[in-house]
Chain A
Amino acid sequence: MPIDVLSAGLSTTVQDLGRPGYYHLGIPIGGAMDRYALRAANLLVGNPEDAACLEAVFLGPELAFSEDAVVAVTGAELPPKVDGETRETWTSFRIRAGQVLSFDYIRDGARSCIAVAGGIDTPPALGSRSTYAIGALGGFEGRAIQSGDRLPVGRADVSVAEGRTVSEKMRRNSGSPCELRVVTGLYWHRITEEAGGQFFEDTWKVASEADRMGYRFQGGRPLEFVDREPPFGAGSDPSNITDACYPYGSIQVPGGTEPIVLHRDAVSGGGYFMIGTVISADMDLIGQLQPHTDTRFLQVDMETALAARQERASMLDAIRQRLS
């Protein structure tokens, strides 16, 4: 049951929960920027949680269905429409053969997961259907979808009920200002105590250079570095280090001016100092940030980060129980 792409949106890609295990070779995990939204969308339409969905960013695609389908749209508030009639987000709904799914203006958030019962059935690459566009890997021919594409859909039980929903209190909103919790890292000693304090005091704004690889922020005060003799291979800029591994969520600050948080399609290493790492529980929130959104970084310890991860897991368990 293929889906015909009438218009593609801004950068709509096939994503699942990604391909762990290749980061040491420079291939990032990829997958949905908002993993909770992807899992919820799949649960709503009766798919395995890791089935592939379409991830739309800011602008929804227009999709023609040639057979009956059950669909759910989660994540950003990007209202779906079936033949022009609005449907609820975070709620399963039916599309009849011949109908067209389109979207209204995005109201809140940045990325929507569009799940179809049966899942998007493009061939897996390295164990995942996620599109890593920079590496031309996975998804639909290794790229964002385009008008004229026919997306394969897996066999599905389309008797899944319509109107299955994730209640509002079980959705997560990035808020404004968005608060991202950070554990400081190995290179914390490189900046002065005053600069470290300012980083967490200042309100930053999402810059236009924000995509699946990373999110750039601007508007806070520049960092002041501690004087040093540059170590071998680091170069003279005080924000440089001898090349090192970059964790997902790590915050590099090239030149000490604009922090960049690496996200799902991160590069795996390089020579910029990292002030710390956004905790795993808050990574989904970044994927929902629009440009110009006010953002604060909050310093937390590892114990808090692990408790937050546990809290996220419980939230997911609760919707699993309700929907399975």
Chain B
Amino acid sequence: MNEKTGPAQADSPGRHEVRAMLPGTFYRKPAPDQPNYKDPGDSVSVGDVLGLIEVMKSFHHVVCEHEGTLGEFLVDNEAPIKAGQVLAVIDNR
């Protein structure tokens, strides 16, 4: 598991976008038989893991860089993603 690959987040007042640093496959849970890392409406803080990106035989954490409330996910579990794509939104108004 690579811990270094956190997302970059575009700020607008009260709303932060969680973007994918890498292209690959997005997962919302650590393993198929385990619960989601986070669900919409959950409160989140800096360092929380929001999901995984699988690429080149390895998995990379998507790490939260803002405190707030998790809004919606913009991609489905196991969906193919592009680098720079918005995965989720964090609301901290």
Contacts and interface: CB of A to CB of B under 8 A. Distances in A.
A7 B4 contact: yes
B24 A208 contact: yes
Interface in B12-37: 19, 21-25
Contacts of B57: 208-211
Interface residues of A, number: 18
Given A57-B56, A211-B57, A291 B5 contact: no
Given A58-B83, A105-B83, A10 B54 contact: no
Nearest to B20: A105
Nearest to B24: A291
B74 interface: no
A33 to B, nearest CB: 12
Interface residues of B, number: 18
Contact of A58 (B22, B54, B80): B22
Contacts of B54: 208
Interface in A81-96: none
B40 interface: no
A258 to B, nearest CB: 14
Interface in A157-210: 208-210
B22 A59 contact: yes
Contact of A208 (B19, B21, B56): B56
A106 interface: yes
B2 to A, nearest CB: 8
A239 interface: no
A292 B82 CA distance: 10
Contacts of B24: 208, 291
A218 interface: no
B56 A106 contact: no
A11 B57 CA distance: 12
Contacts of B60: 10
Interface of A: 7-8, 10-11, 57-59, 104-107, 208-211, 290-292
| In the complex, the 9 A-B pairs of residues with the closest C-beta atoms, listed nearest first | A105-B84, A292-B80, A105-B83, A106-B83, A290-B23, A211-B56, A208-B54, A58-B22, A291-B24
6 contacts: A8-B4, A58-B23, A59-B5, A291-B25, A291-B80, A292-B23
